[in-house]
């Protein structure tokens, strides 16, 4: 485990900026980098809809870095909505199949606040409750229970109630395993989000575990699904690796953006 004072390499932008250019682009904009492998003439628009400049990325990083006067805290856990903390701040939630790497991703997002404990279990389906984290006075991030394998029995009730009742929810992040793509259990979550008209984003995890060719194939397949089968999903996918921090900086920036925590996001 990481020591309290040390944070993993590449967790901070300052480390990423020291890399040579193509590697740097691969870490900050993995989807844009992947787009270079497309056949000439392929549709590229959805690969670069959200392209913040360096100052926006840096501002987002400060939000995810704990410091004096800016605490990043685990607030509480809830099994039912009546136990959830009062909806005081803009909120985002992360949902996904058990074993999709959700807790690992949240831990990567919080890597610059090592005092925050995000439990990452060896056994899938370990998150049985909704876990609430406050990012200073800016926004709240909610880690939802995993669905599918070993999901809590009342998962659908819990998540349905949360999605319908949480008026401060700004965006839902739906995690999809980059190695296997969209699974039948993911479709249940998609149907729920579409039915309630909740704006959401698909985050493709574990991109370090797969070859570029296969990843591109899966990404194109997921993009096609988003285009043809969804209305509430943001057209750009977010690719992430909790291991080498690819896409983590961009995802922090998007979270800060959708919660209204960034003044403006200027494009690169």
Residue 25 contacts by C-beta under 8 Å, 6 or more apart in sequence? 32, 33
For the domain spanning 13-259, the CATH number is 3.40.50.300
The pTM of this model reads 0.93
In a 3-state reduction of DSSP, which class is residue 202? strand
Give the span between the Cα atoms of 228 and 47, in whole angstroms: 16
What is the model's pLDDT at position 155? 72
Dist CA 64 CA 62 (whole Å): 5
pLDDT tops 90 at residue 98 = no
What is the number of other CB atoms lying within 10 angstroms of the CB of residue 132? 19
What pLDDT sits at residue 145? Answer: 84
Which position has the higher pLDDT, 254 or 184? 254
Handedness of CA 215, 221, 224, 229 (dihedral sign): negative
Average pLDDT in the 200-227 region?
Answer: 96
In the structure encoding, which two tokens stand for residue 76, read together? 């509480």
For residues 63-72, one letter each, b for 16 or more C-beta atoms within 10 angstroms of the residue's C-beta and e for the rest, the string is bbbbeeeeeb
Q: What's the CA gap between 165 and 115, in Å, rounded? A: 31
Across the range 70-87, mean pLDDT stands at 91
pLDDT of residue 120: 60
2 pLDDT higher than 90:
no
- Give residue limits of the domains in the chain: 13-259
User: For 179-202, b where at least 16 C-beta lie within 10 A, e where not — what string?
Assistant: bebbeebbebbbebbeeeebebbb
State yes or no: pLDDT of 40 exceeds 70: yes
Q: What does the pLDDT average to over 90-107?
A: 93
Which pLDDT value is given to residue 149? 61
Please, are residues 26 and 261 in contact by the beta-carbon 8 Å criterion? no
Say how far apart CA 101 and CA 92 lie, in whole Å.
Answer: 17
Q: Of 24-28, 77-81, 89-93, which gets the smallest average pLDDT?
A: 77-81
Q: In whole angstroms, what is the distance from residue 9 CA to residue 6 CA?
A: 9
Cβ count within 10 A of residue 53: 13
How confident is residue 245, by pLDDT bands cut at 50, 70 and 90?
very high
What separation in angstroms does the CA of 4 have from each of 20, 104, 112? 28, 17, 10
């Amino acid at each position: 485990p990481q020591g309290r004072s040390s944070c993993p390499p590449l967790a901070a932008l300052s480390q990423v900026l020291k890399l040579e250019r193509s590697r740097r682009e691969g870490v900050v904009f993995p989807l844009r980098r992947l787009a270079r492998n497309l056949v000439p003439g392929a549709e590229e628009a959805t690969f670069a809809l959200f392209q913040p400049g360096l100052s926006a990325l840096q501002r987002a990083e400060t939000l995810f870095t704990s410091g004096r006067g800016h605490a990043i805290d685990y607030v509480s856990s809830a099994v039912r909505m009546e136990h959830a903390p009062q909806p005081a701040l803009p909120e985002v939630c992360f949902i996904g199949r058990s074993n999709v790497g959700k807790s690992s991703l949240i831990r990567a997002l919080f890597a610059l606040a090592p005092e925050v404990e995000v439990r990452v279990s060896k056994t899938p389906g370990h998150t049985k409750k909704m876990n609430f984290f406050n990012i200073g006075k800016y926004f709240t991030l909610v880690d939802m229970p995993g669905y599918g394998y070993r999901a809590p029995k009342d998962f659908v009730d819990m998540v349905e109630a949360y999605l319908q009742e949480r008026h401060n929810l700004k965006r839902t992040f739906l995690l999809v395993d980059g190695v296997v793509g969209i699974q039948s259990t993911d479709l249940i979550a998609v149907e729920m989000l579409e039915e309630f008209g909740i704006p959401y984003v698909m985050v493709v995890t574990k991109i370090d575990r797969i070859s570029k060719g296969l990843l591109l194939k899966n990404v194109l397949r997921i993009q096609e699904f988003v285009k043809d089968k969804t209305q509430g999903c943001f057209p750009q996918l977010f690719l992430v690796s909790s291991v080498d921090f690819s896409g983590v900086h961009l995802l922090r920036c998007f979270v800060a953006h959708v919660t209204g925590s960034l003044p403006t996001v200027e494009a690169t």
